[in-house]
Amino acid sequence: MKKTLLAVLAAGALTTGAAWHGLAADSPKADTQKAATISTPITHAIAGGRDSYADVVNVAAPAVVTIRTEGKARMRATMFGQDGQDGQEGQDPEDLLRRFFGDRFGQDQRGQRMPRQQRVPRQRALGSGVIVTSDGYILTNNHVVDGADEIKVELTDDRTLSAKLVGTDKASDLALLKVTAGDLHPIAIGNSENVKVGDVVLAVGNPLGVGQTVTMGIISAKGRSTTVGDGGYEDFLQTDAPINQGNSGGALVNGRAELVGINSQILSTSGGNIGIGFAIPSNMARNVMDQLIASGKVRRGQLGVIVQPVTPEAAKRAGRPDSRGVLVREVVGGGPAERAGVRAGDIITAFNGAPIDEANGLRIQVAGAQPGATATLTFWRDGKEQQASVTLAEMPPPQRRT
């Protein structure tokens, strides 16, 4: 998995202990027949029960695929030493390789320089993906396919298919692939807004290349932002279902075998699972997918404000009974918010009726709306709640870092 960032303990011992306690509570004078009457139903209940997620797995697993990619290796000087001591940024990687392998690096047996295309190293990557339509669209992470020249998809029925890259969205770390084949088994996309903290979820993918694996956990939190991306749009579902490298792009599934998230990141001190994983909500993934299918790119709305948290002091000055919402620190001149009459010092409390509790929440809500759409902004000013209608602009594409 690109960014390292999980296990649920079984309760079998507790069940055993409870049964033992029930038998021990009987009177010493209880006869053998009575003991059998008590113990037999317990044994039969355990043996005949369906305390299992096998039915969910049977539906969801065929939709989860392994993705293998191959592309040109992207070398940096810092990869050849500790703390970047060897080489300088921008230096030709071949010069660095010659430092380690001698002047004959890049030459054939006769001492002639080989054509450059024969000397470009290749890199391979492994991840997971989810079939979401019967005609072959597959959702995965952008970082799984980033820089790939060739993408292969391995299905659970042992078929291997070549995949076409439909489009990518680095800001959300999502990518959309397309395969052409019959007898595909897409998963139903659930409504991630309905997910609640404490819901049981299953993570399905190919961790560390061991083969398709299912792990179980719960939703630990919603609306998380790890801030380790490149200024992307993060509204993660946090889960303790074990996720490891290779699970990227795989499915997070609810108890109805519906896709509620695309596994994306883990938080880890060791590179392995420690019970803190993050999945992109299915609603965000569906929005990105629909736009990539329609136009090959993703457009996002822009409000034109710079906001900050509402401190208790700021709430008191504004006459607010609590610190909910975000404080408008600056309004972009000529932007949608300014045209709608929003001013610095206003406290935004809702966007299109959805409560706003922090800055990332507002950013996600605005970004999820299409440019040109009209939205209702609720804000606090002069001791009372007010509303304004705002026509959103388009968020410019992120600038590529150099």
* 389 a catalytic residue: no
Instruction: State the angle between helix axes of 12-24 and 32-48 in degrees (0 to 180), rounded to the nearest 10.
Output: 160
Q: Is residue 2 part of a domain?
A: no
Mean pLDDT of the 86-101 span: 46
Mean pLDDT of the 331-341 span: 95
* 173 a catalytic residue: yes
User: 115 falls in which pLDDT band (50, 70, 90)?
Assistant: low
User: 326 falls in which pLDDT band (50, 70, 90)?
Assistant: very high
Mean pLDDT of the 233-251 span: 95
Asked if residue 350 has pLDDT above 90, the reply is yes
Q: Is residue 175 part of a domain?
A: no
* 248 a catalytic residue: yes
Asked if residue 133 has pLDDT above 90, the reply is yes
How high is the pLDDT of residue 328? 96
Q: Are residues 287 and 330 in the same domain?
A: no
Half-sphere exposure of 41 (CA within 13 A, CB side): 6
Q: Are residues 288 and 193 in the same domain?
A: yes
- Domain enclosing residue 221, as ranges: 188-295
How high is the pLDDT of residue 301? 94
Mean pLDDT of the 140-162 span: 96
- Exactly one of 172, 248, 268, 282 is catalytic; which is it? 248
Q: Are residues 200 and 250 in the same domain?
A: yes
Domain CATH number, residue 226: 2.40.10.10
Q: Are residues 310 and 390 in the same domain?
A: yes
Q: Are residues 93 and 192 in the same domain?
A: no
Q: Is residue 16 part of a domain?
A: no
**Whether the Cβ atoms of residue 107 and residue 96 lie closer than 8 Å to each other:** no
| pTM recorded for the entire structure | 0.74
Q: Which segments of 245-309 does DSSP mark as H helices, in order?
A: 282-295
Side chain identity, residue 220:
S
How high is the pLDDT of residue 77? 34
The token pair at 35 is 């003991």
Domain CATH number, residue 364: 2.30.42.10
Indicate the burial class of 381 (C-beta count within 10 angstroms; 0-12, 13-18, 19 or more).
Answer: middle
In sequence order, the β-bridge partners of residue 171 are: none
User: 12 falls in which pLDDT band (50, 70, 90)?
Assistant: very low
- Exactly one of 169, 173, 235, 346 is catalytic; which is it? 173
Q: Which range is least confidently modeled, 106-115, 145-154, 192-201, 226-235?
A: 106-115
User: 272 falls in which pLDDT band (50, 70, 90)?
Assistant: confident
**Whether the Cβ atoms of residue 60 and residue 282 lie closer than 8 Å to each other:** no
Q: Is residue 37 part of a domain?
A: no
Q: Is residue 45 part of a domain?
A: no
Q: Is residue 68 part of a domain?
A: no
Domain boundary at 94, 119, 144, which? 119
How high is the pLDDT of residue 304? 95
Asked if residue 211 has pLDDT above 60, the reply is yes
How high is the pLDDT of residue 271? 81
Q: Are residues 198 and 291 in the same domain?
A: yes
- Exactly one of 143, 192, 220, 235 is catalytic; which is it? 143
Asked if residue 378 has pLDDT above 50, the reply is yes
Summarised one tens digit per residue, pLDDT across range 382-396 is: 899 999 999 999 988
**Whether the Cβ atoms of residue 237 and residue 209 lie closer than 8 Å to each other:** no
Asked if residue 80 has pLDDT above 70, the reply is no
Asked if residue 16 has pLDDT above 60, the reply is no
Domain count, the chain: 3
Q: Are residues 235 and 316 in the same domain?
A: no
Q: Are residues 232 and 280 in the same domain?
A: yes
Q: Are residues 192 and 289 in the same domain?
A: yes
Mean pLDDT of the 24-36 span: 42
Q: Are residues 207 and 278 in the same domain?
A: yes
Asked if residue 259 has pLDDT above 80, the reply is yes
**Between these two residues, 44 and 248, which has the higher pLDDT value?**
248
Q: Are residues 306 and 251 in the same domain?
A: no
**Between these two residues, 392 and 25, which has the higher pLDDT value?**
392
**Between these two residues, 197 and 47, which has the higher pLDDT value?**
197
Q: Is residue 25 part of a domain?
A: no
Indicate the burial class of 158 (C-beta count within 10 angstroms; 0-12, 13-18, 19 or more).
Answer: exposed
Mean pLDDT of the 356-369 span: 91
Please give the DSSP secondary-structure letter assigned to residue 226. Answer: -
Tally the residues of the chain. 402
Q: Is residue 176 part of a domain?
A: no
Q: Are residues 336 and 352 in the same domain?
A: yes
User: 88 falls in which pLDDT band (50, 70, 90)?
Assistant: very low
